[in-house]
Amino acid sequence: MPVNSFENYPMTWKPVIDRTVKPLYLSLANHLEQDIINGSILPGTKLPPYRELADFLDINVSTVSKAFKVCLLKGLLSATVGSGTFVSFDALSNAYLLGDGRPKNLIEMGATIPEPSSYEPLMLQLKNMVNEPELEKWFSYSRPGDLIWHKDAAVKLMRKGGYITDVETILFANGGQNAITAILFGLCQHGDKIGTDPHTYSGLKTTAGMMGIQLVPIKHKDGEMDGDALIYACKNENLKGIYLIPDYQNPTTHRITLERRKELARIAREFNIFIIEDATYHLMCEKPVQVVASFAPEQTIYIASLSKTIAPSLRLAYVSVPKQYKKQLSNALYNMNISVSPLMAELAARMIVSNQIDTIIESHRKNTIYRNYLVNYYLSKYDCHGENTCIFRWLKLPPNILGTDFETMALEKGVQVFAAERFTVGNSIPEKAVRLSICAPETVEELEKGLKILQQLLYSLH
């Protein structure tokens, strides 16, 4: 029998469970999930301690622990040593950013894609390949000799970003998202923990949720991951690794300083955790900062993908992998991919080795700078973070509006933006902000139209 009556006890959650449903921990977990979905328990709510809830329900503490574990791995809860268990702020947010059923004539400012007017060199190279006499070879499996040549191109691309590596480290993936999924699949097990920013790339969230990997938000200092907070998480959360986007962090646009990169690398070496360095936006930076991998090459898996800097349909990522992780990751990629497209791999390699990739990136930068000029013009009265060569911006909202509410209001006006809640990890409090993808609109005129709508919407909120 319960020790306490709990009639006047400040329990934040007092469930009534069906004891006929077995196993009992799943009954409790399902009850908790439904209460979160229907709004009976709000995001950010601190749940009762295991022992108190077990006493209230007159069940074993292990039953409560197992039920909470189920919900933790679904991303519904977030637990921090010393602080307790909370309902995640992102428990109900839709982390899948490219959904179906979009309204007609919608101005897309949600998905992060490069502006579309710089693809001509890519199309010309593809036409040349199609006209070659041995065209059919690009529609078969890759040949061993091709892989060497493609790896040389990968090494050259990484050197453009300031990372010196060799062909022995290189693996191929079908895009950055595919690479991240393979890393988690190859190096982690169900229930492992990965540290990340309090707001992070939604693709990491969906993959981690699907695989039962818990994301642990590492607190920020001066807008970037704090070294002391990472040390605390390594000691108390048993982190397996961390995920970083050092340049133009998605969604906040922040760039990690050189000193903080060195510090995070040192901590990873000290605690023997791996680093996933997502260099998706690195080549768009006009003033590159030394990559994290250069300070911890034995700990860092470096991903150089092409969809954001070249073209979305070029589904190819080069992954530089330290020797200690290469076998597991190679097996994971093989089981997931079998192989990348020889056509896309050859096209990318030719663009890199011929230096035509530099022309495309420079064109993307130039056009992105102009688009950012328009953002600065129309949203000059508002706090809108992001550098001139970043393809998205982080718009801080007035204090009287949530990101989710603004996203809904913008969608009703015909503009798609993404609220901070979509990117929030665990029990982190979502910023009152939205991410604007400024290069997603096909034309500058369409971007201007979208910015005018957002400007009027923001004005109406004051």
Q: What pTM was estimated for this model as a whole?
A: 0.83
412-437, pLDDT tens digit by residue?
999 999 999 999 998 888 999 999 99
What contacts 363, CB < 8 A, 6 or more positions away?
117, 118
pLDDT of residue 146: 61
- Proportion of the chain above pLDDT 70, given as a percent: 92
Rounded to the nearest 5°, which phi and psi values hold at 242?
A: -135, 155
Q: Is residue 262 part of a domain?
A: yes
Domain of 31, CATH number, reads 1.10.10.10
For residue 402, count CB atoms less than 10 angstroms from its CB and return exposed for 0-12, middle for 13-18, buried for 19 or more: middle
Written as one letter, the residue type at 204 is: L
Residue 317 C-alpha from the chain's centroid: 15
- Say yes or no to pLDDT of 98 above 50: no
Paired tokens of 321? 């992998």
Query: Can you spell out the DSSP letters for 346-371?
Result: HHHHHHHHTTHHHHHHHHHHHHHHHH
User: Which of 302, 329, 354 is the last residue in one of the domains?
Assistant: 354
Q: Residue 4: pLDDT above 70?
A: no
pLDDT at residue 290 greater than cutoff 70: yes
pLDDT of residue 73 exceeding 60, the answer is: yes
In a domain, 94, yes or no: no
pLDDT tens, position by position, 208-267: 888 889 999 999 999 899 999 999 999 999 999 999 999 999 999 999 999 999 999 999
Residues 177 and 304 in one domain: yes
- Alpha-carbon Rg for the chain, nearest whole angstrom, is 24
pLDDT score recorded for residue 7:
56
On whether the CB atoms of residues 187 and 240 are closer than 8 A, the answer is yes
146 and 284 fall within a common domain = yes
Tell me the average pLDDT across 273-282.
Answer: 96
Our CA angle for 352, 353, 354, nearest 5°, is: 95
Burial class (CB in 10 A: 0-12, 13-18, 19+), 132: exposed
Q: Is residue 13 part of a domain?
A: no
102 — pLDDT class (breaks 50, 70, 90): low
Residue 379: pLDDT above 70? yes
Residue 429 forms part of a structural domain? yes
User: In this predicted model, what pLDDT tens digit does every residue of 17-44 receive, in sequence order?
Assistant: 888 878 888 889 888 888 887 778 877 7
| Helix or strand (DSSP H, E) at 403 | helix 403-412
Same domain for 51 and 175, yes or no, is no
Please report whether residue 256 resides in a domain: yes
Q: Where are the alpha helices (DSSP H) in 248-402?
A: 258-271, 323-337, 342-353, 356-378
Q: Is pLDDT at 293 greater than 90 in this prediction?
A: yes
> What gap in Å lies between CA 294 and CA 292, rounded to an integer?
5
Handedness of CA 12, 92, 204, 386 (dihedral sign): negative
Question: 347 with 363, same domain?
Answer: no
Looking at residue 42, what is its pLDDT? Answer: 77
Residues 349 and 376 in one domain: no
pLDDT range class, residue 444, cuts 50, 70, 90: very high
Q: 156-196, pLDDT tens digit by residue? A: 999 999 999 999 999 999 999 999 999 999 999 988 999 99
Q: Residue 179: in which H helix or E strand, if any? A: helix 176-187
Overall average pLDDT of the 100-126 stretch: 81
- Percent helix, percent strand, percent coil in the chain, to nearest 5: 45, 15, 40
DSSP category for residue 391: S
| Measured distance CA(13)–CA(17) in Å, rounded | 12
Query: Mean pLDDT in the chain?
Result: 88
- The reply to whether 288 and 347 lie within a common domain is yes
Q: Which domain holds residue 166?
A: 135-354
The pLDDT value recorded for residue 8 is 53
Which domain CATH number covers 235? Answer: 3.40.640.10
Does residue 342 share a domain with residue 231?
Answer: yes
pLDDT tier at 389, thresholds 50, 70, 90: very high
Q: Are residues 66 and 143 in the same domain?
A: no
Give Dmax over CA atoms of the chain in angstroms.
84
Contacts of 413 (CB under 8 A, 6+ apart): 453, 457
What are the Cα distances from residue 3, in Å, to 6, 57, 343?
A: 9, 11, 69
Number of domains in the chain: 3
Are 215 and 295 in the same domain?
yes
* Predicted pLDDT at 145: 57
Does residue 314 sit in the same domain as residue 403?
no
Do 184 and 241 share a domain, yes or no?
A: yes
C-beta separation of 203 from 303 below 8 A? no
Tell me the angle at which helices 356-378 and 120-130 cross, rounded to the nearest 10 degrees.
150
Q: Quick check: 1 pLDDT over 60? A: no
| Residue 174 falls inside a structural domain | yes
16 domain residue, yes or no:
no
Whether residue 309 sits in one domain with residue 386: no
- Higher pLDDT among residues 154 and 9, named by residue: 154
Would you say residue 2 lies in a domain?
A: no
- Final residue before a domain boundary, out of 309, 332, 354: 354
128 vs 146 pLDDT, higher one: 128
Domain CATH for 404:
3.90.1150.10
Band (pLDDT 50/70/90 cuts) for residue 101 is low
Domain final position from 332, 354, 376: 354
